[in-house]
């Protein structure tokens, strides 16, 4: 089997084949170079080096001075005009601009702030499972996994209830564009829909930000648009970019881990019984193992800022490297029997929330909190819940997303 990570056809292959391909790449003496293919409306460069070993991904993540997130972390790179229309996202910035934005928003994810959310998260989980009981099981993504993260984010931001269905719709449209684009016509259609969805999200939160400047309401938008003790606040474009990032990244991580996770627990009944036998003892490890096994975000790109040697590879200034988190999370030198799903394994070094360093996922603890609460509610009230058949996955080289997953609750009214 030939391997070409830059070819969109590679991402159409069965998951097992892709894991086998990455296992072969991890055995090479140094990272392999892949020439870049031209994709409509995206910048095409010379290509990239694939960082597939855990140690390489960690090294690049920690050394943000050499492995820069600018001008963009997506691969291939979007056109330069995008940042002028939508503003610059935190994930595409280096210090000091990245540090400033992260400093402003970090206080929103403090242990105290997350603790204040717990009752709301629990109540949302109860309502979601109430609906499953009342309506019966169908699609786990639509009925459970997709609802909780967006509800929590909208609650945090203070988005009025009447706008939330539209927010959900815009998020689904924007994340669909991360999938493989099979034709020029489809590329144009998806790109246009994506842009309109992101603009709509930004307009909504910017309008709310103006209202919160006049009348703060104790929500996250109020916190971000009014000056912190250092006199810093987000501008309109920064607020819009942060909201889009929070909705896409924050939603997708928890949503997809839950959707894949319920399938993993169905396919591994011994692990499921272990979890249900002592939920509190095992749920923390189960969540970390799900994130490791799933790797919700497949890859991020970095641009080399100076000549650098990485595992015998001489990188030149301007070279591109791509960090493949899913491969790093199955590195045999770090995770014994990496393809096994084992909720008792030590998963502390996984990079499912990004590697260590300044770009580690800001919302990782919120995602863990959401998943813990949802799995507790599900297995307390529907202990026989299981998936049915195989999930429908988004065809993507970026987002390990579940579009639909049938399930049965085992509940009899």
Do 117 and 369 touch, CB atoms closer than 8 A?
yes
Q: Is 315 helix (H, G, I), strand (E, B) or coil?
A: strand
Q: Which residues pair with 322 in a beta bridge?
A: 50, 301
Q: Which residue has the tokens 């988004």?
A: 394
Mean pLDDT for all residues in the chain:
88
Q: What is the pLDDT of residue 413?
A: 43
Given strand 320-324, what is the order of strands in its sheet? 32-35, 47-51, 320-324, 299-304, 67-68
If you average pLDDT over residues 364-371, what whole number do you get? 95
Alpha-carbon distance of 299 to 400, in angstroms, equals 10
What span, in angstroms and rounded, lies between the C-alpha atoms of 127 and 148?
A: 10
Instruction: Concatenate the DSSP letters of all residues of 32-60 into one string.
Output: EEEEPPP-TTSB--SEEEEE-SHHHHHHH
DSSP state letters, 102-168: HHHHHGGGSHHHHHHHHHHHHHHHHHHHHHHHHH---BHIIIIITHHHHHHHHHHHT--GGGHHHHH
**Maximum C-alpha span of the chain:** 66
Alpha-carbon separation of residue 178 from 125, 243, 248, 298, 406 (angstroms):
28, 18, 11, 11, 23
Region 277-306 average pLDDT: 96
Percent of the chain with pLDDT over 70: 88
Q: Tell me the residue length of the chain.
A: 413
pLDDT of residue 241: 86
The pLDDT of residue 411 is above 60: no
Instruction: Note if the bond before 76 is cis, omega within 30 degrees.
Output: yes
Higher pLDDT, 394 or 375: 375
Lowest mean pLDDT among 34-43, 363-372, 403-412: 34-43
For the CA atoms of 230, 233, 155, 282, the dihedral, rounded to the nearest 10 degrees, stands at -50
pLDDT in tens, 158-185: 988 888 887 877 676 666 545 444 444 4
pLDDT of residue 176: 55
The span from the CA of 140 to the CA of 263, in Å, is 10
Note the pLDDT tens digit of each residue in 43-61. 556 899 999 999 999 999 9
Q: Which of 61-65, 76-80, 267-271, 279-283 has the lowest mean pLDDT?
A: 76-80
Q: pLDDT tens digits, residue range 336-351?
A: 999 999 999 987 799 9
Where helices occur in 164-268 by DSSP H, the ranges are: 164-176, 184-214, 220-225, 236-245, 251-267
Name the residue with higher pLDDT: 255 or 109. 255
Nearest by Cα to 328 from 287, 299, 359:
299
pLDDT for residue 125:
97
CATH of 8-408 given 1.10.630.10, 3.40.50.10490, 1.20.200.10, 1.10.10.10: 1.10.630.10
pLDDT band at residue 227 under the 50/70/90 scheme: confident
Phi, psi (deg, nearest 5) at residue 115:
-60, -35
Q: How confident is the model at residue 232 (pLDDT cuts 50, 70, 90)?
A: confident
Tell me which range, 35-39, 103-107, 305-309, is most confidently predicted by mean pLDDT: 305-309
Per-residue confidence (pLDDT) for residue 180, from 0 to 100:
47
Helices (H), 299-363: 325-328
Write out the two tokens for 352: 């499912």
pLDDT, tens digit, 9 for 90 and up, residues 117-174: 999 999 999 999 999 999 999 999 999 999 999 899 999 899 888 888 878 776 766 6
| pLDDT over 90, % of the chain | 61
d(CA 327, CA 323): 9
d(C-alpha 400, C-alpha 325), whole Å: 11
pLDDT value, residue 245: 83
Residue 323: phi, psi to the nearest 5? Answer: -90, 115
Poorest-pLDDT segment among 4-13, 91-100, 158-167: 158-167
Q: Is 6 within 8 Å of 36 (Cβ atoms)? A: yes
């Amino acid at each position: 089997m030939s391997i070409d990570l830059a070819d969109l056809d590679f991402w159409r292959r069965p998951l097992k084949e892709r894991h086998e391909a990455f296992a072969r790449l991890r055995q090479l003496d140094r990272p392999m170079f892949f020439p870049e293919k031209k994709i409509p409306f995206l910048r095409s460069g010379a290509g990239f080096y694939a960082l597939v070993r855990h140690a390489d991904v960690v090294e690049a993540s920690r050394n943000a001075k050499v492995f820069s997130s600018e001008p963009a972390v997506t691969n291939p790179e979007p056109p330069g005009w995008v940042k002028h229309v939508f503003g610059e996202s935190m994930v595409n910035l280096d210090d000091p601009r990245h540090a400033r934005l992260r400093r402003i928003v970090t206080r929103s994810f403090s242990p105290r702030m997350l603790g204040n959310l717990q009752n709301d998260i629990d109540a949302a989980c109860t309502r979601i499972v109430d609906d499953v009981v009342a309506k019966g099981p169908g699609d786990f993504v639509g009925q459970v996994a997709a609802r909780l993260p967006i509800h929590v984010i909208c609650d945090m931001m203070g988005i009025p209830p009447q706008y939330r269905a539209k927010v959900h719709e815009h998020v689904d449209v924007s994340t669909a564009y991360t999938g493989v684009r099979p034709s020029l016509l489809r590329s144009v259609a998806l790109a246009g829909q994506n842009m309109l969805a992101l603009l709509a999200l930004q307009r909504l939160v910017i309008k709310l930000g103006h209202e919160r400047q006049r009348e703060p309401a104790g929500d996250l938008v109020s916190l971000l648009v009014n000056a912190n003790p250092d006199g810093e606040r987000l501008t309109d474009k920064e607020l819009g970019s942060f909201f889009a990032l929070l909705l896409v990244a924050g939603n997708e991580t928890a949503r997809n881990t839950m959707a894949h996770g319920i399938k993993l627990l169905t396919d591994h009944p011994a692990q499921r019984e272990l979890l249900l036998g002592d939920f509190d003892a095992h749920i923390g490890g189960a969540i970390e193992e799900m994130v490791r096994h799933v790797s919700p975000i497949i890859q991020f790109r970095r641009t080399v800022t100076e000549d650098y040697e990485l595992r015998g590879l001489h990188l030149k200034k301007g070279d591109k490297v791509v960090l493949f988190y899913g491969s790093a999370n199955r590195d045999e030198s770090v995770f014994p029997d990496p393809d096994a799903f084992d909720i008792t394994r030590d998963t502390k070094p996984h990079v499912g929330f990004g590697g260590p360093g300044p770009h580690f996922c800001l919302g990782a603890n919120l995602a863990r909190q959401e998943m813990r609460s949802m799995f507790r509610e599900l297995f307390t009230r529907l202990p026989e819940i299981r998936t049915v058949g195989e999930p429908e996955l988004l065809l993507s080289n970026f987002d390990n997303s579940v579009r639909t997953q049938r399930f049965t609750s085992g509940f009899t009214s």
